[in-house]
Structure 1
Amino acid sequence: MNKRESIRAARQIIDEIHDMRIFDLIGEYVRFGKTTKVIAPIKVPSVNTNALSLTYAQAVANIFGYNIEDRVFQVTSEKRDRKIDTMLRLCFPPVFTGEIEAGADYIVVDDVFTTGGTLAGLRGYIHRHGGNVIVCSTLAAGTRVTREATRHDQRQMGVALAPTNDRIRDLRNKLGDEYRAVDSVFCEGLRYGLQQLTEQEARFVSSQARTIRTYRGSIAEWFERGIIEARSSGI
C-alpha cells in the first residue's frame, strides 16, 4: 500500500470509528488568542508508517483551523516499536527531537492509547522545551484502558494519563515498605521514578507487586532484574 492509499484508508477508519463529540471535548481546552498547534508522535518521513496518527492530526487541525507541528519527530527504537511487553516499553521510553515553539499551546493526538508512554513522553518533551500541552486525544484505547474509562453510549470518552490518586494509594499499598526501594530502582535504572509513571504503567507495577508478594519475593529485586534483562535483550 502506497502513501496515498494509506492516507485514504486512515481517513475511512477515522470516519467509521471516531465520535464527533470528541471535537467538542477538545474544544473545551482550547484557549482562544493563543498560538495553538496539533502534533502527533510521528517518525521521520523516510520511516514513518503511522498514517492514522498523522491523518487524525490533520482532521483535528482542520476542525479548529490550526497548523500541524511538523518539526518534531520520534526517534526510532526497534526494541520499543517491535515489542508490546509492558516491561520492555517501560525500559525504552520514546525519545523525541525537533523544535517546539515556546509559549505555544499543543493538542497531542495519536492512534491508540495503550500504556500511555508515548503520549506522556511527547507531552514531557513539549513542556521541557517551553510549550504547553492543553489536551491529548487518541482514536482508540486498548481493552485494559477502556474497562476503567468513563463511558457514554458504550464509547470511551476519557481516560487518565497520569496516575489517579486512587492508583497512587493502591501502588503504595501494594509495594508497602518496599515503595522507596522500588522507586530507587526505577530512578537508577530508567532515570524516572514511580511518580512519573502513567496510569496504565502504575497499574502494571501494582499488579506485578501483588504477584511477587504472593511468592514472598523482593519486589525491588524483581524489578531490578527485569530492567537489567530488558535493557540487555536483543531483538
Structure 2
Amino acid sequence: MIAQRTAWNNFPDVILHAEELAVKKHPTYSAAKSGDADAAFALVQDTISTDAVSKLRDLIADRKIILVSAHAFERDGVNAIPEAFADELGRQLEQSTDDSIVQVNVVAHTGANGFARLARQALFDGVVVAGADYILVDDFIGQGGTLANMKGFIENAGGKVIGATVLTGKPYSAILTPSAEQLTELRDKHGKEFEHWWQDKFGHSFDCLTQSEARYLARTENVDTIRNRLATEE
C-alpha cells in the first residue's frame, strides 16, 4: 500500500497559528501529543490565532465545509492535538468536523529527519463524503507530506480539499505547491530516470511533491545518496 497524492492546482498556503516554540514549549504539549484530550484542549486554547481563524473564514467564504484532522499515532499514543484543534475551529467557524478519516500506520515523524519523513509516508483510511469541501487540520507541518497524503486520499475518494491549517510550523513549510523553478532545479540535478524511479516507488511524479520535499531532494548531492538514505529510514 502506497500513499495517495493528487495535483496541487494552485493549492493555497497552509494557514499557521503560532510560533513553533510557543506550541512545543507549552506545559501541556507532551501530554497532548501522547493522547491527553484535556491537555490538547488547553494547548489549543492558548495558541489558536484569531487572525488565522479570520483567514480561514475568508477562505471558506459562504461554503459549508468539513474540518478533518490527522489522527497520528505517536510513540506514546494517538496525538490528541489535531482533533482538539479541529473541534475548536469548528466551534469558532460554525462548521462541521469529521473524525472518521484516520492515519492507519505509525510513521514516527516527530523529531525525524527529512529522509525519514519521505521514506515513512502517512497512509489514510475512512469514509469520505463525495462532493464535500474539506479543510485539513494538523498540529504541525514539517515537509508537508502528511497533509499531501491526506489531501490525496480525500480527493481520490471524491472529496475536494480547499485548504489546510496547522497550529505551528516554519513559514516556508506552509508553501505546499512546488514552484516551477524548484521542480526544474530538482529535475536538472537528478534527471528523468530518478523521477521514474520515484514514481514507481511512491506512486507519484515530482509534481505532487511539496515545495519543502522538492527542495530537500534538490539539495541532496546525488541520487545514490537519496536512495541509500531512504532505504536506511524505511
The answer to whether the 8 Å contact 1:182/1:223 transfers is: no
2:155 maps to 127
Matches within 5 A, 1:19-98: 19-32=49-62, 34-43=63-72, 49-77=78-106, 79-81=107-109, 84-98=112-126
1:221 maps to 224
How far is 1:15 from its partner? Answer: 2.9
1:205 maps to 217
Partner SS for 1:39:
strand
How far is 1:227 from its partner? Answer: 3.2
How far is 1:49 from its partner? Answer: 2.5
How far is 1:195 from its partner? Answer: 1.7
The answer to whether the 8 Å contact 2:32/2:81 transfers is: no
One-letter code aligned to 1:188: D
Q: What do the CA deviations read for 1:141-199 (whole angstroms, capped 9, x no partner)? A: 0xxx33x47xxxxxxxxx211212332233244x1xx3212212212222222222111
1:117 maps to 145
Higher Cα Rg, which structure:
1
Percent same amino acid among aligned pairs? 21
Equivalenced residues, count:
201
One-letter code aligned to 1:18: I
Say whether residues 1:171 and 2:189 are aligned partners.
no
The answer to whether the 8 Å contact 1:74/1:94 transfers is: yes
Query: Structure 1 residues 82, 76: closer, same or farther in 2, change over 3 A?
Result: farther
Q: Which runs of 4+ in 1 moved over 6 A?
A: none
The answer to whether the 8 Å contact 2:186/2:218 transfers is: yes
Determine which structure has the larger helix proportion and give its number: 1
How far is 1:83 from its partner? Answer: 6.4
Give the TM-score, by structure 2 length.
0.76
Identify unmatched segments of 5+ residues in structure 2: 1-30
Q: Which has the higher contact order (CA 8 A, sep 6+)?
A: 2
Say whether residues 1:6 and 2:36 are aligned partners.
yes
How far is 1:43 from its partner? Answer: 4.6
The answer to whether the 8 Å contact 2:102/2:125 transfers is: yes
Deviates more, 1:11-20 or 1:48-57: 11-20
1:102 maps to 130
How far is 1:117 from its partner? Answer: 0.7
- The alignment's C-alpha RMSD in Å is 2.5
Give the TM-score, by structure 1 length.
0.76
